[in-house]
Structure 1
Amino acid sequence: MITRRDILIASAAVALSAAFRTPQALGQPLPKTAHILTGFTPGLQDALARLVAGQMNDYAKTIVVETRPGAGGRIAVEAVKSADPDGSVMLFAPLGFMMFFPHVYKTLRYDPRDFTPVSTVASTPTLVTVGPKVPAEVKTLADFVGWCRANPKLATFGTPGAGTTLHFLGTMLGRSAGFDFLHVPYQGNGAIQDLMKGVIAAAVMPIGSALGLVQSGDLRALATTGPRRSPFVPAVPTVREAGYPSLEDLTWFAFFVPATTPAPVVDRLNEAIQAALRTDEVRVGMAKLAVEPDARAMGDFARLIASESERWKAIVLATGFVPTD
């Protein structure tokens, strides 16, 4: 299991290798075709990967984004782990694959140390929304908590899947507020569809999943989990403002390559990603997807994984969740 010491050592090794790279290494040919693997069916992650890939022309002549859904996204992770470490195959995934999954699965066919973190590209808070099953007078998170306590059989929330960070955020809300919040897992955006139909009371989803329906008034947003209010829903308070600071959380999307990828190749890929993030096309595209640019240096990225891994380990233990196969 990943530790802060492991991440810092790996980060230092990458930095040291990069510091002594040679002109011959820098002259290694770029891949003619590069593949970016994502682990879910087309949606936010896939769209974001294609957006960034479209501006990475200096890295490879052709960049193909492939969706490899299955096993909660782990199929794509395993495929990249076993790929040639030449920069031609990379993983684009939420950070949870590295800092969260090790704490919710008994066995993984990969270890976070099997990968080198290249760069984060964007982050987004989670949005807690309610639909028509909840009375119109419920307008704040405090109102909703009160309603759930008074109507325990109706206190349900949906997410894109069991054992995800979104699942745990909803569970933590129920535990922190003292009511049983029943989780209903869905595939993709199915939770939003059932929320609209009044099948479930609430949804805990990335902000972009429900933004249009919140803006139209069809759904009510009660809180966001970011450290500050989201520019996409500036009137919606944060969970800290609502009295639940322990729910503060962001979802980061990032690139990874196999751990044995040479440092000069990692550097070159990082530079291509950073250049793409500086383009107007990517910035405008991210705004349409309701995510914000959030690029971190490789060393900072490694430290982020370590700190978030420790935080989520404590959260999983506190909830009493039993790791699954």
Structure 2
Amino acid sequence: MITRRDVLTASAGIVLAVADRVAPVLAQPLAKTVHVLTGFTPGLQDALARLVTGQMSDYAEIIVVETRPGAGGRIAVEAVKNADADGSVMLLAPLGFMMFFPHVYRSLRYQPSDFTPVSTVASTPTLLMVGPKVPADVKTLADFVAWCRANPKLATFGTPGAGTTLHFLGTTLGRSAGFDFLHVPYQGGGAIQDLVKGVIAAAVMPIGSALGLVQSGDLRALATTGPRRSPFVPAVPTMREAGYPALEDLTWFAFFVPAKTPAPIVEKLNASIQAAVRTDEVRSGMAKLAFEPDVIAMGDFARLIASESDRWKAIVQATGFVPTD
């Protein structure tokens, strides 16, 4: 299975080669307004889109970021699938939209083959947090697992929705640790609000969703899912360090265009995105959002989607989850 480490190692030389090859194509921006769609209400994702596209004037003179929330992000994905394949409409989305959704929705009206993956831009691990419902002496993941086993009726965790990668990470933790971890789905930031209020015991969320509350001590972070400790919470161990290597996972955010977009346009867009991510403005802006710059070359990106899709298919099936409409 191709891993994140394999991808980043292989990509280093390829990125420079692609940039050199398409440099002549980048001479002039597209003579049109370009639209970038995201699938959620305003928040971290559209902020990331605005940050990156703000440094892409070599690709287009005007780039408009639009939020198209609904159906777990699928409305935006379907809109891009049906858009003109001329580089004027793009999707910025978590990689899970392509590698994960096909395994949780029966009536998905798109397939990964309907899109051309252009470039990843950032990644973030997931954070397991607990709130005041959990006693203050629970300080580690091992402590929390023991508490959940002793208090099965209180062992609840919230996420932004059922059928998400966050949902399955929490469920897999419970299965791996031998306790019933009850999932409570929310919309938007409701899980964090109820976690702070003590309504639920834990939440599984991207780091940026609650970093301030963790830093202030209102919430306690027990583990992250990254392959290494996050620079934003360096004192928090990884799931692998805590004894759960199967829960290692990153959420990548990436740009996609409709499948039939001509290769020269895709290459121009790829080079523009990667150049934007290398700027100090984008890197400092990502740090404020608790994202890490993470660029993967096009060929490795496509292989990563296929590999991660197989991994998540096995995880979903192991939980007994029944695909929904």
Q: Give a deviation string over 1:120-144, Cα, whole Å, max 9, x none.
A: 0000000000000000000000000
Could you tell me which runs of 5 or more consecutive residues in structure 1 were left unpaired when the two chains were aligned.
Answer: 1-17
**Cα 1:273–1:29, aligned 2, differ >3 Å: closer, same or farther?**
closer
Give, in whole Å, the separation in 2 of the partners of 1:149 and 1:62: 55
Q: Give a deviation string over 1:178-236, Cα, whole Å, max 9, x none.
A: 11111011111111110000000000000111111111111100000000000110100
Q: Give a deviation string over 1:100-150, Cα, whole Å, max 9, x none.
A: 000001121111100000000000000000000000000000000000000
Aligned amino acid, residue 262 of structure 1? P
Identical-pair percentage: 86
1:245 Cα deviation (Å)?
Answer: 0.6
Q: Which residues of 2 match residues 67-86 of structure 1 at below 5 A?
A: 67-86=67-86
SS in 2 for 1:118: strand
Contact kept, 8 Å, 2:123 with 2:292, in 1: the verdict is yes
1:137: which partner in 2?
A: 137
Q: Which residues of 2 match residues 9-158 of structure 1 at below 5 A?
A: 30-158=30-158
Give, in whole Å, the separation in 2 of the partners of 1:272 and 1:27: 11
2:307: which partner in 1?
A: 307
1:31 Cα deviation (Å)?
Answer: 3.9
Contact kept, 8 Å, 1:286 with 1:292, in 2: the verdict is yes
Number of residue equivalences = 306
Aligned amino acid, residue 79 of structure 1? A
2:285: which partner in 1?
A: 285
Is 1:186 aligned with 2:186? yes
Give, in whole Å, the separation in 1 of the partners of 2:161 and 2:22: 46
> TM-score, normalising length from structure 1?
0.91
Give, in whole Å, the separation in 1 of the partners of 2:29 and 2:318: 49
2:167: which partner in 1?
A: 167
Give, in whole Å, the separation in 1 of the partners of 2:143 and 2:263: 52
Contact kept, 8 Å, 1:170 with 1:183, in 2: the verdict is yes
Aligned amino acid, residue 296 of structure 1? I
Aligned amino acid, residue 256 of structure 1? F
Give, in whole Å, the separation in 2 of the partners of 1:137 and 1:117: 46
Contact kept, 8 Å, 1:31 with 1:87, in 2: the verdict is no
Could you tell me which runs of 5 or more consecutive residues in structure 2 were left unpaired when the two chains were aligned.
Answer: 1-17
The root-mean-square deviation of aligned C-alpha atoms, in Å, is: 1.7
1:6: which partner in 2?
A: none
SS in 2 for 1:261: coil
> TM-score, normalising length from structure 2?
0.91
Give, in whole Å, the separation in 2 of the partners of 1:65 and 1:44: 13
Runs (4+) of structure 1 exceeding 3 A deviation are: 21-29
Is 1:242 aligned with 2:242? yes
Give, in whole Å, the separation in 2 of the partners of 1:244 and 1:24: 48
1:252 Cα deviation (Å)?
Answer: 0.2
Q: Give a deviation string over 1:38-72, Cα, whole Å, max 9, x none.
A: 00001111110111011111111100000000010
Is 1:321 aligned with 2:321? yes
